[in-house]
Amino acid sequence: MTNYTPQILRIKKKLQQAKDKDELFKVFGAGSHKYEINAPTSILEIDAFEQHYGIQLPKSFRCFVLNIGNGGRSYLNSGAGPFFGIYPFGENLDDLIHKNVEQHLKKECTLHPHITESQWDELTDPFYEDDISDENYEELNGALYGGILPLGSQGCSFIHALVLNGPYKGMVVNLDRGGLSPPKFSEDKNFLDWYERWLDEIISGKLITTCPSWFGYPKK
């Protein structure tokens, strides 16, 4: 089992270093979260969540909300993180799946890093049929985004999310809730690696720019 303690300690230090480096909050979204994050959640809350939804959270994300923090002052009470931050644990679950969240959250995620434009079109074309019922729409939507936990907002229809089940469990994926763009998986293998790289790119100055930065998107 991976020991995340050294990485947790590094991230705690780097959060302050990132705030010091970006003192004018030039990184996209930093003016909202201001590199602040509330106290961690409890093991009881996590256990109750996992039992209720019939899932096991990826270990690195579990370690984050247990040891670093949970929620903050940004959009929808998000804490420090890429774009507008990381949602409070267990909240905004309907950001992707609007009905029957309990049913769909425990499904195996069917999305993958190698999905093509044509494959994505095949998956999403049924959503645009003129005679689709609300019930069928919600079922298709649940199947498409099953096994994915919303993590935070990037603005407009874009969010970052966490794969809960399947071969890519633990990876962060960028999604367009409007369905126009295929999913873009981060290159990082788990949540903590993704989060720490965000801090590293701030500290190095890479993300300190007046233009929106597409952190976490794969390089073309």
pLDDT one-digit tens code per residue, 165-212:
999 999 999 999 988 899 999 999 999 999 999 999 999 999 998 676
Q: Please report whether residue 215 resides in a domain.
A: no
38-63 average pLDDT score: 98
CA distance 192 to 79: 15
Can you tell me the mean pLDDT for 143-151?
97
Continuous segment of H or E residues that includes residue 151: strand 148-155
What is the mean predicted confidence (pLDDT) over 75-87?
Answer: 97
Dihedral sign, Cα of residue 111, residue 113, residue 119, residue 124: positive
Please report, to the nearest 10 degrees, the dihedral formed by the alpha carbons of residues 7, 12, 16, 21 taken in order.
20
| Count of domains for the chain | 1
Read off the pLDDT band of 213 (50, 70, 90): low
Residue 218 lies inside a defined structural domain of this protein:
no
Give 220's contacts (C-beta < 8 A, 6+ positions apart).
none
- Find, among 119, 123, 113, the residue nearest to 173 by Cα: 113
Q: Tokens 């649940």: give the residue.
A: 142
Mean pLDDT computed over 118-132: 94
Instruction: Compute the CA torsion angle 95, 140, 178, 58 (nearest 10 deg).
Output: 40
User: What is the pLDDT at residue 103?
Assistant: 95
78 domain-assigned? yes
Backbone angles phi, psi at 36, to 5 degrees: -105, 145
For residues 62-76, average pLDDT: 98
Q: What are phi and psi of 154, to 5 degrees?
A: -110, 5
The average pLDDT across 123-143 equals: 93
* pLDDT for res 216: 84
CATH of the domain at 20: 3.40.1580.10
Residue 220: per-residue pLDDT: 57
Its pTM surpasses 0.75? yes
Residue 216 falls inside a structural domain: no
| Residue 128 near residue 64 (C-beta atoms within 8 A) | no
| Other Cβ atoms within 10 Å of 121 Cβ, number | 11
Residue 156 has pLDDT above 70, yes or no: yes
Q: Taking a C-beta distance cutoff of 8 angstroms, is the pair 37, 72 a contact?
A: yes
With 0-12 CB in 10 A as exposed, 13-18 as middle and 19+ as buried, what is 95?
A: buried
Average pLDDT, the chain: 95
12 belongs to a structural domain:
yes
- Cα–Cα dist 33/22, whole Å: 12
Contact call for residues 29 and 76 (beta carbons, < 8 A): no
Q: What does the angle CA 91 – CA 79 – CA 156 come to, to the nearest 5 degrees?
A: 70
Residue 212 lies in a domain: no
Average pLDDT over residues 154-171: 96
Give the pLDDT of residue 218. Answer: 76
Structural domain boundaries enclosing 108 = 5-203
Residue 45 lies in a domain: yes
Residue 180: per-residue pLDDT: 86
Within a domain: 118? yes
